[in-house]
Structure 1
Amino acid sequence: MNRRSVLRSAAALLGLGTAGGAAATAARAGHNRYYQGPVSDHFDGLRFFNPEGSPPKGFKDLWRWRTGPAPTKWPESIPVTPARPATRVQDLTITMVGHATMLIQIQGKNILTDPVWSDRASPVSFAGPQRVTAPGIAFENLPPIDLVLLSHSHYDHMDLTTLKRLKAVHNPLVLTPLGNDAIIAGTGLRTEVLDWGQSTAFSKMWVHCEPCHHWGARGIADRSMSLWGSFVLTTGVGTVLFIGDTGFDQGRPYRDLAQRFGPIRAAILPIGAYDPRWFMADQHQNPDEAVTGFQMSGAAYGVGHHWGTIQLTNEGRDDPRTALHAALDQRGIDRQVFRALEAGDVWDIPKL
């Protein structure tokens, strides 16, 4: 792929690409077509933002990045032995599908995070970042899916093709931050939206939407017009934290979680897509920051994701795992406590 095509793919993935039609017209008119609601401490009436945080970079910075040092070359493919999960798990098991897609089996329910089974994280099927690992669970071997946690609208987290497949076969409920329901409306999925600080009951558990430092977009005309967030699951078998994407943001995504939600049994945290730091640091934490956040959260166990599946940034395929191990070693934390799972890995999370 030539440099112009790479730039176009990166721009689309990061919400810097060309949007057309209604979205562009709406943006010029100062209208948010996804969400209309009152001004708040993180919504200005048109766009969402990170309070006292950093806005996403613009096209000039994207150009500087993509015309700078070449990314470390990834292998074209990595062998995967797909898992065959149990139909139901009464305790807590986490299976890595790939990137930010995890199967959380907890208290008899099956939950997917940011489900992507497509070959590319892109607005088009013929170009854009391509996965080097097959999904860690074949789609046809999924157990009945009850719930989807959808953290934000970037293409490597919100895949409309996969969501339509889930609707056809499983018809799960989708919980997602404000505005994302409008983007996925065409899938036909049942959707419930949450603002930061809001909670909803699901079966015998509660799902809480919490702040993190990121942004969302499907194109240049809708930057930050849908909200991003993390999720805390409080259940009878323990509490689980899932963050799809975040900058470390002085640790604010992690502060006071244990005090508010009790002991966290497992924290599922992003560890990849962090290089170069001058471009990525505000929106993507690195492994060292992830370990600091893990410690701040008071979680007993950590699961590292958002690495090793699709190349979005400059670091090598295995660099996040190597850096995670170094950060754990430096702090005297057992590597088995915070694991960077490969596609197909299954972890029965120990009880507290």
Structure 2
Amino acid sequence: MPARFLPWLKQIPVHRPRWLLAAAIAGALAGCASSNPAYDPNKPHHVPDGFRNLYASPHGEPDGGFWAWQWQRLRSDLPADRPERVPRASVDLDRLGRPTGDLTFTWLGHSSALWQVNGLRVMTDPHLSERASPVSFAGPKRLNAPPLTVDQLPPIDVVLISHNHYDHLDLSTVQRLAAQPGGSPLFIVPLGVGRWMAAQGIGRVKELDWWDRVTVPGAQGGVSVTFVPSHHWSSRTPWDRSATLWGGFVMQASMDAAPLSLYYAGDTGYAPDFADIGRRFGGFDFSMIPVGCYEPRWFMRGQHVNEDEAVRIHQDVRSRQSIGVHWGVFRLCDDPIDAPVDGLPAALARAQLPQDAFVLPVLGETRLLRAAAHRAASAD
């Protein structure tokens, strides 16, 4: 089977009947694209039918790799998930609804988070549905419930989509966000994803290439958003491997006359891109870096980082404080969803870094990262 089919198929549980797999594939075919309308031959990550990583990986996915992995899984006893080890707190809905001007971070599970920056509410890769799948009746199921519903969210100003995989771009969630009372947020998406959004009836979209920047205005100064490389791939069907772009985001603002720089790595394997990003931006106050879904290493290494590699990203981008995401909700790989609870502290110890330099968030908890000197009048 061609390698381009394998990454998409890995999201369908192997124990499902063949008819169910066929139905899932058939249901996902609408809107496939096989060419790259944004192709620019002067850009090294552009190719005529899509995009590629800036740096070649020695850990590519050979033909048959997916099935070798599934055969290995059938013959192995995988560690059990312990969802109860994922720390959880009740969401402070009142606090989320007040525009205090503080810099805050609320983890909503996996790679979904809500930042409050300069009075703007910014969501990353929103996913509040039951499954990370092209169909509602099969595919990876949420093992920890979301801390709130879409209807409980405060008005969202900006949504950042790192790439189009089902655990990062959920149709139901983005459609409901687009229909929120008061108007749709601005969706900032990679090249090519705008066509998919338009097909779903979502029109307030800005597509970005790597290193493109857009400024989102706000009552307290606004936020500049830059789309940056990661080492990954994209697809929503077996036929559109890397047809749309993928990446991470840098948010820059001025808070109380002091510069503020935030980074979300997106989904990624380890690559020299992060040293490039660190050099270009000179470091970050806070970063959001994936730490889960990385086993088996021979298959996942080219696309997902483990905790040691996540710590290297933290160092490469010169992050002063990092928060670990991409764990705790969906069992997509062989490592259990709670693996980073033990793995991240151990990785920090091996790197001889303080334990508080890179932390795991609490599901639903709003972390105050920096208090505004002059809070909005509606705050306590």
> Is the pair's TM-score, using the shorter chain for normalization, greater than 0.5?
yes
Contact preservation (8 Å) 1:271, 1:307: yes
**Residue aligning to 1:294:** 314
- In the alignment, the residues of structure 2 paired with residue 121 and residue 207 of structure 1 have an alpha-carbon distance, to the nearest angstrom, of 26
Residues 1:42 and 1:165: Cα distance change in structure 2 (over 3 Å): same
Which deviates more from structure 2 when the two are superposed, residues 60-69 or residues 255-264?
A: 255-264
- In the alignment, the residues of structure 1 paired with residue 327 and residue 18 of structure 2 have an alpha-carbon distance, to the nearest angstrom, of 21
Residues 1:298 and 1:134: Cα distance change in structure 2 (over 3 Å): same
Give yes or no for the alignment of 1:214 onto 2:232: yes
> Which one of 197, 209, 229 corresponds to residue 184 of structure 1?
197
- In the alignment, the residues of structure 2 paired with residue 180 and residue 110 of structure 1 have an alpha-carbon distance, to the nearest angstrom, of 22
Shift of 1:136: 2.6
SS of the equivalent of 1:67 reads helix
- In the alignment, the residues of structure 2 paired with residue 23 and residue 58 of structure 1 have an alpha-carbon distance, to the nearest angstrom, of 27
> Which one of 127, 140, 150 corresponds to residue 138 of structure 2?
127
Residues 1:136 and 1:253: Cα distance change in structure 2 (over 3 Å): farther
Shift of 1:134: 1.4
Residues 1:21 and 1:111: Cα distance change in structure 2 (over 3 Å): closer
**Residue aligning to 1:116:** 127
- In the alignment, the residues of structure 2 paired with residue 232 and residue 12 of structure 1 have an alpha-carbon distance, to the nearest angstrom, of 38
Deviations 1:127-159 (A, max 9, x none): 110111111333232121000000000000011
Shift of 1:3: 3.4
- In the alignment, the residues of structure 1 paired with residue 342 and residue 20 of structure 2 have an alpha-carbon distance, to the nearest angstrom, of 28
- Specify the structure having the higher radius of gyration (Cα): 2
For residues 82-161 of structure 1, what are the structure 2 equivalents within 5 Å?
82-83=90-91, 84=93, 85-87=95-97, 88-161=99-172
Shift of 1:51: 2.6
- In the alignment, the residues of structure 2 paired with residue 104 and residue 8 of structure 1 have an alpha-carbon distance, to the nearest angstrom, of 41
Contact preservation (8 Å) 2:324, 2:360: yes
- Read off the aligned partner of 2:362 and give its amino acid letter: E
- In the alignment, the residues of structure 2 paired with residue 12 and residue 245 of structure 1 have an alpha-carbon distance, to the nearest angstrom, of 27
Residues 1:193 and 1:343: Cα distance change in structure 2 (over 3 Å): same
- Read off the aligned partner of 1:301 and give its amino acid letter: Q
Residues 1:159 and 1:9: Cα distance change in structure 2 (over 3 Å): farther
**Residue aligning to 1:223:** 241
Contact preservation (8 Å) 1:113, 1:150: yes
Shift of 1:122: 0.2
> Which one of 259, 262, 268 corresponds to residue 246 of structure 1?
268
Deviations 1:40-79 (A, max 9, x none): 3011111211133238525611111112134322247778
Deviations 1:141-190 (A, max 9, x none): 21210000000000000111101100111510011110011112113241
Shift of 1:300: 1.0
- In the alignment, the residues of structure 2 paired with residue 67 and residue 18 of structure 1 have an alpha-carbon distance, to the nearest angstrom, of 24
SS of the equivalent of 1:267 reads strand
CA RMSD for the aligned pairs? 2.7
> Which one of 31, 51, 65 corresponds to residue 54 of structure 2?
51
For residues 327-342 of structure 1, what are the structure 2 equivalents within 5 Å?
327-342=347-362
**Residue aligning to 2:70:** 66
SS of the equivalent of 1:213 reads coil
Deviations 1:190-224 (A, max 9, x none): 10011011111111221111111000000111110
**Residue aligning to 1:175:** 188
Shift of 1:19: 7.3
Aligned sequence identity (%): 35
- In the alignment, the residues of structure 1 paired with residue 215 and residue 334 of structure 2 have an alpha-carbon distance, to the nearest angstrom, of 40
Give yes or no for the alignment of 1:200 onto 2:214: yes
- In the alignment, the residues of structure 2 paired with residue 46 and residue 180 of structure 1 have an alpha-carbon distance, to the nearest angstrom, of 14
- In the alignment, the residues of structure 1 paired with residue 248 and residue 18 of structure 2 have an alpha-carbon distance, to the nearest angstrom, of 29
- Read off the aligned partner of 2:148 and give its amino acid letter: I
- In the alignment, the residues of structure 2 paired with residue 243 and residue 7 of structure 1 have an alpha-carbon distance, to the nearest angstrom, of 36
Where does structure 1 lack aligned partners over 5 or more consecutive residues?
none
Deviations 1:60-114 (A, max 9, x none): 1111111213432224777844312422241311100000000011110000000
- In the alignment, the residues of structure 2 paired with residue 20 and residue 100 of structure 1 have an alpha-carbon distance, to the nearest angstrom, of 23
- In the alignment, the residues of structure 2 paired with residue 219 and residue 90 of structure 1 have an alpha-carbon distance, to the nearest angstrom, of 41
Contact preservation (8 Å) 1:243, 1:270: yes
- In the alignment, the residues of structure 1 paired with residue 23 and residue 103 of structure 2 have an alpha-carbon distance, to the nearest angstrom, of 36
- In the alignment, the residues of structure 2 paired with residue 300 and residue 90 of structure 1 have an alpha-carbon distance, to the nearest angstrom, of 21
* More RCO (CA 8 Å, sep 6+): 2
Where does structure 2 lack aligned partners over 5 or more consecutive residues?
1-11, 372-380
- In the alignment, the residues of structure 2 paired with residue 315 and residue 94 of structure 1 have an alpha-carbon distance, to the nearest angstrom, of 26
Residues 1:37 and 1:71: Cα distance change in structure 2 (over 3 Å): same
